[in-house]
Amino acid sequence: MLDFSADELSAIRLSLRVAFWAMLGSLPFGVAVAMVLARSQFWGKSLIDGIVHLPLVMPPVVTGYLLLLLFGRQGPLGRFLDENFGIVFAFRWTGAALASAVMAFPLLVRAIRLSIEAVDRRLEEAAGTLGAGRVFVFLLVTLPLIAPGIVAGMVLAFARSLGEFGATITFVSNIPGVTRTLPSAIYALTQVPGGDSGALRLTLVSIVLSLIALIAADLLARGMARRLAGD
């Protein structure tokens, strides 16, 4: 059961790598957007909020297609990044990570935003009277207090990325060893005769990985809650 084929192993490894970088790469943007949405009032805020949440409600294939239009080799952003920074997303694992990041972004922002809104701003005021400027208040008070929310958001984003399929296959296709993540591999297996047992094995792997991520998140969150409670 546990002796995976080279293809299966590559799909598992690729999925983990894609999910990891999708989570990490979107984190700074997620914190920044959550801060803006939680703390500022400006004209057009609802629109920003809507755009952030769009991937949650749009068909994933639409998101994937939009990414292809924007970040494909001929897309405006894709060409700019390729020519200036040598960064290519189209039909690479990086593209899978981008697609996963976009799809998971609403979950990440939501979790962080909720924790920012729960921060007692009077603590930030107190830090100000103790001599801390805005940057230090954020780094020394706000950030540690929202850490549980950030971790929760990261784990949600990681788990969501592990399961990303529609946008990924539309944007970067399903190339074995390059963009064939776990869901793509399972999909491919279900399309060929005799692939059922392989699909089932990878399905079990998916379930185990997701469970591990969720349990780890729970343990981390509890540990942090205990710290804040004074133990």
Residues that bind another protein (CB under 8 A): 120, 122-123, 125-133, 136-137, 140-141, 144-145, 147, 227-231
Q: Give min distance, CB of 139 to another protein, in A.
A: 12
Q: Which one, 126 or 207, has the nearer CB to another protein?
A: 126
Residue 36 neighbours by CB distance under 10 Å: 17
Q: Exposed, middle or buried: residue 71 (CB in 10 Å: 0-12, 13-18, 19+)?
A: buried
Nearer to another protein, 125 or 196 (CB): 125
Minimum distance from residue 147 beta carbon to another protein (Å) = 8
| Closer residue to another protein (CB): 128 or 195 | 128
SS3 of residue 144 by DSSP: helix
Closest distance to another protein from the beta carbon of 39 (Å) = 17
**Do the beta carbons of residue 150 and residue 109 sit within 8 Å?**
no
- Minimum CB–partner distance for residue 213 and another protein (Å): 25
Q: Which is nearer to another protein, 116 or 185 (CB)?
A: 116
Min separation Cβ 116 and another protein, Å? 15
The answer to whether the CB of 182 falls within 8 A of the CB of 206 is yes
Residue tagged 């005799």 (tokens)? 194
Q: Which is nearer to another protein, 84 or 129 (CB)?
A: 129
Long-range pairs of 143-146 with CB within 8 A, sequence gap ≥ 24: 145/115, 145/119, 145/120, 145/228, 146/112, 146/115, 146/116, 146/119
